[in-house]
Amino acid sequence: MAPTSSIRSRPLKKADFSLFIKPLKPTLYADAPPPPPRHGVVYSPPNIKSLSWSATGNLLATCTGANIRVWNAERGPNVKNSTELKSAHAKGGVAFGSAGVSGDAVEKVAFSPGVEGVLASCGADGMVRLWDVRAPGMVGAVGAGKGTPVLGGCKVGGEAAFLTWRPDGAEVLVGRKDDEVYSVDVRHLASSNGAAASGIEATKRLSHGKDVLYEMAFSNTGREIFATANDGTVKILDYPSMAHLHTLSAHPAPCYTVQHSPAGNYLAIGSGDGTVSLWDTHCWLTTHSLAAQNQTTSVRHLSFSWDGMYLVAGAGSDAKDGMPGLNVWHVDTGEVVHVIETQYATSQVAWHPSRYWIAYAGDHGGLKVVGGLGTGL
């Protein structure tokens, strides 16, 4: 029997979306409850730096500090339904799993688009690692972190800034903080006997240039790459040659994030000016921008709903200066169809791959999911 969340939601029209989501209460996924409010004490939400749903939506991964946690979203928010990978990317060359390592060492986690339970991560140690987060004999389940297999690892040198999967699941593209970009063929990261592979080399795809690159995303075909830059542009590059194809002059402020819509008809670009521009991929002209009164900080993360009809945005590290409320935009019209009430600005956002469930971070308590189990959509 197929996992429950692999069955797609029925599409919701703009007029119906708010009616569906308004009565829903967010579910908190946390390894410990948040502290009670205290007069004069400012609460800081956990610094979750990345979110990722698995291909079916059964699993949800986050990274905080030096650790990774993977939740079985189908089973609910009990911490027993999760696993923690401690010191997954330890600083100073210390082996992962070592005790006493601290610091924001894990930069990004991302599930394979094609293989359930395979998770890629990168961090301050200059490594890309591939994990199998399924418990033995339990497809889609999460077990004890101590025995989580490491399928392999590959060194890319300097500290990693971003990681993205090629749509076919064969490669991951990793950008370093010095703007060098590498690809890793993940098919070589697991040895024939199932042990962690070693000696795999990354392929340099781009050397440091004049632009500061914040993020890269593949097109839906995997034949192009969209690269956001500090000069307010997005470069469209051929893959794997990395030849320049076109430049979009998108915003008067740095462009931080970019996403290709599921249908491929839109490219969404988030910027330091607090807006999201939508580009028609047939003519490469901007059709309209998404903005809201409470969107006062940079847009550093974007996520389309599974049908491409709706879009949400997160402020990343700038969330501490933002206003509360998570806007849900209707892509075709640019209207805010609903605002999810939050105590703080959201930092990370991710739509479920086949349902109208939104995972977000930055609010009181940490990771929350709205529209989850029992909603019927």
Distance CA 261, CA 220 (A): 8
pLDDT band of 317, cuts 50, 70, 90: confident
The string of pLDDT tens digits covering residues 195-240 is 455 567 899 999 877 789 999 999 999 999 999 999 999 999 999 9
Structure tokens at 169: 């699941």
DSSP 148-208: --EEEEEE-SS-EEEEEE-TTSSEEEEEETTS-EEEEEGGGSB-TTSSBB---BPEEEE--
Confidence category of residue 35, pLDDT binned at 50, 70, 90: confident
Is 368's pLDDT higher than 60?
yes
Percent of the chain beyond pLDDT 70?
84
Q: Enumerate domains of the chain plus CATH numbers.
A: 46-207 (2.130.10.10), 210-366 (2.130.10.10)
Sign of CA dihedral 139, 53, 198, 86: negative
Nearest to 228 by CA among 275, 269, 173, 262: 269
Window from 102-106, 116-120, 223-227 with minimum mean pLDDT: 102-106
- pLDDT confidence band for 318 (50 / 70 / 90): confident
Query: Is the pLDDT confidence value at 311 over 70?
Result: yes
State whether the Cα torsion 24-21-367-137 is positive or negative: positive
Asked if the peptide bond before residue 240 counts as cis, ω within 30 degrees of 0, the response is yes
pLDDT at 312: 97
Q: Which of residues 266 and 66 earns the better pLDDT score?
A: 266
| Residue 322 contacts residue 297 (beta carbons within 8 Å) | yes
66 pLDDT band, cuts 50/70/90, is confident
Rg of the chain over Cα atoms, rounded to whole angstroms, equals 20
Q: Which of 194-203, 330-339, 352-361 has the lowest mean pLDDT?
A: 194-203
7, 1 Cβ separation under 8 angstroms: no
List the beta bridge partners of residue 353: none
Q: What is the pLDDT of residue 136?
A: 44
Query: Any idea which of 19-28, 140-149, 199-208, 351-360 has the lowest mean pLDDT?
Result: 140-149
State the chain's mean pLDDT as an integer: 86
Q: Please tell me the distance from the alpha carbon of residue 235 to that of residue 248, in angstroms, as a whole number.
A: 6
What pLDDT does residue 43 have?
63
pLDDT band at 89 (very low <50, low <70, confident <90, very high): confident
Q: How far apart are CA 59 and CA 83, in angstroms?
A: 11
In Å, what is the CA distance from 2 to each residue of 33, 57, 174? Answer: 33, 12, 32
Give the pLDDT mean for 146-162.
81
pLDDT of amino acid 294: 82
Residue 145 has pLDDT above 50, yes or no: no
Higher-confidence residue of 73 and 236: namely: 236
Quote the pLDDT of residue 198.
58
| DSSP H or E segment with residue 17 | helix 14-21
Beta bridge partners of 238: 224
Give the pLDDT score at 143.
41
Mean pLDDT calculated for residue range 35-51? 76
Lowest average pLDDT, out of 121-130, 234-243, 306-315, 348-357, goes to: 121-130
pLDDT at 157: 86
- Mean pLDDT throughout 58-83? 91
pLDDT at res. 42: 62
